[in-house]
Amino acid sequence: MDAEAAKLLGAGLSMGLGAVGPGVGLGILIGKALEGIARQPEVSGDIRTNMFIGIGVTEAVALYAFVVALILIFVA
């Protein structure tokens, strides 16, 4: 396998595997938030705000993988 192929393979793997964890995490996070809203609709505003903070932090993990993929393709 030459270096170019390894680079592309690594980029694809990093994005694909890196998206698994945040995907599961986002599912759990939003599911729990919806559960909370369904139980207590009167605090839905607070829950939604905190949910978005959590989404931002969780999603960043997938985006690190994306950046690593970009670096592998264009820089490395």
Partner 1 sequence: MEPARSQHEQELQRLTAGEDEVVAAIAQRRKLAGLPMWLWGVIVLFVLVGLFFIPGGAKQELEIAAEFDLEPLVELPTIGPFDLSITKAVVYLWIATAVIVVVAIVIARNIKPHPSRFQYAMEALYELAYDGITASVMKSGVSTWFPYVGAAFFFILVNNLVGLIPLPFGEHHQLSFYAATANLNVTITLALFTFLFTHYAGMKKNGPVTYIRNWMPKGAPPVLREFIFVIHIVSEVFRLISLSVRLFANMVAGHAILAVFFAMALIFQSYLAAVVLQGGSVLIYMFEIFVAVIQAFIFAILSAVYLGGALDQEH
- Site residues (vs partner 1, CB under 8 A): 45-46, 49, 52-53, 55-57, 59-60, 63-64, 66-67, 70, 74
DSSP letters for 21-67: HHHHHHHHHHHHHHHHHHH-GGGHHHHHHHHHHHHHHHHHHHHHHHH
Closest CA to 73 of 9, 1, 29, 24: 9
State in angstroms the smallest separation of the CB of 9 from partner 1.
18
Q: Give CA–CA dist 64/51, Å, rounded.
A: 20
If the CB atoms of residues 24 and 67 are measured against partner 1, the closer one turns out to be 67
Q: How near is the Cβ of 31 to partner 1 at its closest, in Å?
A: 18
Nearer to partner 1, 35 or 52 (CB): 52
Q: How near is the Cβ of 67 to partner 1 at its closest, in Å?
A: 6
